[in-house]
Amino acid sequence: DADVTQTPRNRITKTGKRIMLECSQTKGHDRMYWYRQDPGLGLRLIYYSFDVKDINKGEISDGYSVSRQAQAKFSLSLESAIPNQTALYFCATSDQGERGAPNTGELFFGEGSRLTVL
């Protein structure tokens, strides 16, 4: 089983619908992130969270909201989906790095959720 699991993996929806993408992790990491990937634009940060009480906006948070239900769960919502939110969405985690060992801050990614808004 994957350490970082995203559901659904693929979703087609219509403009105006509410969509939730879910992410759960078994790595025990404190930090979780949502990124969006568009062709030719790389990955851009939507939201990030350091723990259940600490949620922060990223570069492109407009039109999105998130919920950190538990250390292991971080969901992304599109309250009213629009076609330009069609993209590949990635959840990622990283270790807080306060355990004394060197930590590069590598991000561990889920397999991605491909969302199409018609």
> What residues line the site for another protein (CB under 8 A)?
31, 33, 35, 40-45, 48, 50, 56, 58, 88, 90, 92, 94, 96-98, 103-109, 111-112, 114
Nearest CA to 89 out of 4, 21, 24 is that of 21
Q: How far apart are CA 60 and CA 48, in angstroms?
A: 11
The CB-of-58 to another protein minimum distance in angstroms stands at 7
The CB-of-40 to another protein minimum distance in angstroms stands at 6
Specify the residue, 17 or 97, whose C-beta has the smaller distance to another protein. 97
Specify the residue, 62 or 98, whose C-beta has the smaller distance to another protein. 98
Q: How far is CA 4 from CA 26, 34, 63, 90, 100, in A?
A: 7, 12, 24, 10, 24
The CB-of-44 to another protein minimum distance in angstroms stands at 7
The CB-of-16 to another protein minimum distance in angstroms stands at 27
First to last CA, the chain: 32
For 52, the token pair is 């259940």
Specify the residue, 30 or 63, whose C-beta has the smaller distance to another protein. 30
For 70, the token pair is 């538990």
